Structure 1
Amino acid sequence: MVVAKNKFSLKRFSIAGAVAFATATLGLAISEVRSQGNLVSIDGSSTVYPIQEGIAEEFQKDNRGYRVTVGVSGSGGGFEKFCRGETDISNASRPIKDSEAQRCAQNGIEFVELEVAFDGITVVVNPENNWVDTMTVEQLETIWEPDAQGNVTRWSDVNSSWPNVEMSLYGPGADSGTFDYFTEVIVGEEGASRGDYTASEDDNVLVTGVERDRNALAYFGYAYYVENQDTLKAVGIDNGNGAVKPNQETIESGKYAPLSRPLFVYVKKSAMEKPQVEAYVEYFLSADNITPIVNEIGYVPLSRRGYLNQKAKIR
C-alpha cells in the first residue's frame, strides 16, 4: 500500500476509519452532542466522503463550538438515512432517484441539490498487467454485463490476444452511486451488473485488491487512483473517438466520456434553520475553502462562479 502523502489522505478514508475518527472527534456520545444542538450529521457516498471529511476538519478548527460527523453508507444508503430524517446532509455520486425523492416527500423532507465537484470513474489494473493500456466501452460492457457472470471469466474471453488467465474483478457495492452511474453508462441499464465480483462500499478495499493481484481489474472514483497511482495503472477508455485517460483536464472538459460525472451534496431545508448547519454549508460552499481541498484530493472543482451559484440555491 502507498504511504499517505496528502494532507487529506484517502488512505484513512475507510469505513472503520471514518467511525474511529468520528468517535475521537466528538469525544462524547452522539445523543449528548445532539442535546447541545451543535451537531452536523452527514452520510452517503464514499466518493464525496473525502471532500466532506477535509471540509469538516477545517470547519471544526475554525468553529470550536460545532461538531461534524461524516459517515460512509454509499449514495443509496445515505439517501435512506436522509429520507428518514436521520441526517442533515447527504453525499451522492449520482442524482437522487425519483423513488428516493418520493420517500423523502412522504416523510416531509424537503432538500436542495448542490453540485460540488467533478469526478471521472477510473478503471484500473495492476501495474504488472502489460497487456491492457486501453479498453473500449464495448469491452467494459462485455466484462460487466449480467450475462458475463460465469461466461466471461478470463482475459482472453474479452480479447483473444490477451492472456488465458482468470480475471479478478473488484467494484462498488449496489448501494454505491458509482455502481449506479457505471452500470448505466457502460452496460446501458442502471444496476445491471454481473454479481460474481468482490464488492465494497469502501474504495480502499478495491484499491488493495488490485494492488495485490496482477490479474485484477476495478473501477472507482478518480481521487482514489490519484492517491495510489504508484501502485495502480489507469486504463484509457475509448468510446469510439480514441482512448482517453482520466486527468483533471479530460474530466473537466468532458473528453473523458462517458465516465466523467458531477458529484452532489443534498441539504435538508429544515436543517438550515440550525445555526451549525447553516454555518457549515456556507463554509463548505466557499470557493476559498473547498477548492484547495478538491484539488488536493484529486477531483475537479467548480469555478468560483459555480460555487456562488450553488450558494445562491441555498439562499
Structure 2
Amino acid sequence: MNIINKAFAFLLILSGFLFTSCGPSGPSKEIKIDGSSTVYPITEAVAEEYRSEAPNTRVTVGFSGTGGGFKKFLRGETDINDASRAISASETETAKENGIDYVRLSVAFDGLAVVANPENDWVDYLTVEELKKIWRPSSQGKVTHWSDVREEWPDKELHLFGPGVASGTYDYFTEAIVGESGSSRGDFTASEDDNVLVQGVSTDQSALGFFGLAFYEENMDKLKLVPIENENGKKVKPSMKTVSNDTYSPLSRPLFIYVNKEAAKRKPVQDFVNFYLSNAGKLAKQIGYVPMPDSAYQAQKEKFKAFYSQSDTTTAE
C-alpha cells in the first residue's frame, strides 16, 4: 500500500471513530444534572440505579444549590436542574431571554428540620413567630441571645447556621418564616454543604440551624430536633407522616426537577426521566423523603410526554 492509500485508510478510520464518538454512545447519551443539594440524594440514587439499567448513558449529578443550578440550566449548560423551590420570576425572565423552555416535574416531598445541639436542655419547641423573630433582617445585632427569643431561656449567645443564599432550602425557609424569599439576617454561618451545618450545630451548645429533614435523619444521633408549633397550636416534629398529611406546617414542601425542552427531545433523556419518575417514590422513601402517590407519578409522566411531544416552544409549570 503506497503512502497516499495509507493516508486515505487512516482518514477513513479516523472519520469512523469521530462518527462513533458523536453517535449514540457519545455526547447525545450524556445527561448533565445540577442544582439543589436537597434533591441531590434522590437524583443521585436514581442515577446510580439507571447506570445499571443503561450503562452506555453517562449521567453526571452535581449540586450547587437551587439558585446556582438554575444559573447553569438557564445558560443551557445542563439538561436537568434539581430544585427545592419553584423557579423565580427573575429566573423565568432569564429563561425567556435565553430561549430556554422547560417543564417542571414534582418528584417527592420534604420537611425542613430545625435543629439544636443535643446539650441544649431549654428549647422545648419554637413558634413560627419566634423563628421569624430570630431570622428576620431587623433582628441582626438585636436578637443575639437565647433570652432575646424567650425571656425564660438562658442568657447565652445564639449562634445560627443555615444553607447558603443560593440554596432553595434557604429561599423556602425565608419565605415560609420571614415572609419574603431570600430575606434574612446576614450574621449566620451559611454553607451549601449540609455536613458543615451539622458539624457546626453538633459541636456548639448555643447553636440553632435548619436544613432538609432527610439530612437530619442521616445525622440524628448528633442533633436535637426542635418541634414547631403549627397554626392549630400543635407542637409537631417533621416526619414522613406529618409532612405527607401537612400537619408539619409551614415547613414542608414539594421537590422538583426541571427538564430543558431541547434535552427532552433526546431519547436518552426521555428514558432517564421516565425511569426517574418510576423509581423516585421507592428511592425517596429509602433516603428519608416523602414519596408522592403512584397516581401523582403517573400524572407527571403524562405531563412530561405531552411536553416533549409538542412541536412549539412552551414551558410547563
Tell me whether the two structures share a fold, i.e. TM-score over 0.5: yes
Structure 2 CA distance, aligned partners of 1:146 and 1:103?
27
Show the 5 A alignment for 1:84-95: 84-95=75-86
Amino acid corresponding to residue 243 of structure 1 in structure 2? K
**Residue aligning to 1:257:** 249
What displacement does 1:126 show? Answer: 1.0
Query: Are 1:285 and 2:277 counterparts?
Result: yes
Identity of matched residues, %: 55
**Residue aligning to 1:312:** 302
Q: Which runs of 4+ in 1 moved over 6 A?
A: none
Unaligned runs of 5+ in 1: 1-30
Structure 2 CA distance, aligned partners of 1:193 and 1:99?
19
Cα distance per residue 1:227-253 (max 9 Å; x no partner): 111111111101342211100110001
- Higher-Rg structure is 2
Cα distance per residue 1:105-143 (max 9 Å; x no partner): 211111111111001111001111110121001110111
How large is the Cα RMSD of the aligned pairs?
1.4
Structure 1 CA distance, aligned partners of 2:45 and 2:272?
12
Q: Determine if contact 2:108/2:280 at 8 Å carries over to the other structure.
A: no
Structure 2 CA distance, aligned partners of 1:277 and 1:233?
41
Q: Determine if contact 1:132/1:235 at 8 Å carries over to the other structure.
A: yes
Query: Are 1:178 and 2:169 counterparts?
Result: yes
Query: Are 1:138 and 2:129 counterparts?
Result: yes
Query: Are 1:221 and 2:212 counterparts?
Result: yes
Show the 5 A alignment for 1:1-315: 35-241=26-232, 242-286=234-278, 289-315=279-305
The two structures have a TM-score, normalised by structure 2, of 0.86
Q: What secondary structure, in the 3-state scheme, does the structure 1 residue paired with 2:200 have?
A: helix
What displacement does 1:163 show? Answer: 1.1
Cα distance per residue 1:158-179 (max 9 Å; x no partner): 1111111111110011111111
The two structures have a TM-score, normalised by structure 1, of 0.87
What displacement does 1:292 show? Answer: 2.1
Q: What secondary structure, in the 3-state scheme, does the structure 2 residue paired with 1:46 have?
A: coil
The count of aligned residue pairs is: 282
Unaligned runs of 5+ in 2: 1-21, 306-317
Q: What secondary structure, in the 3-state scheme, does the structure 2 residue paired with 1:69 have?
A: strand
Structure 1 CA distance, aligned partners of 2:220 and 2:282?
20
What displacement does 1:308 show? Answer: 0.2
Structure 1 CA distance, aligned partners of 2:170 and 2:27?
38
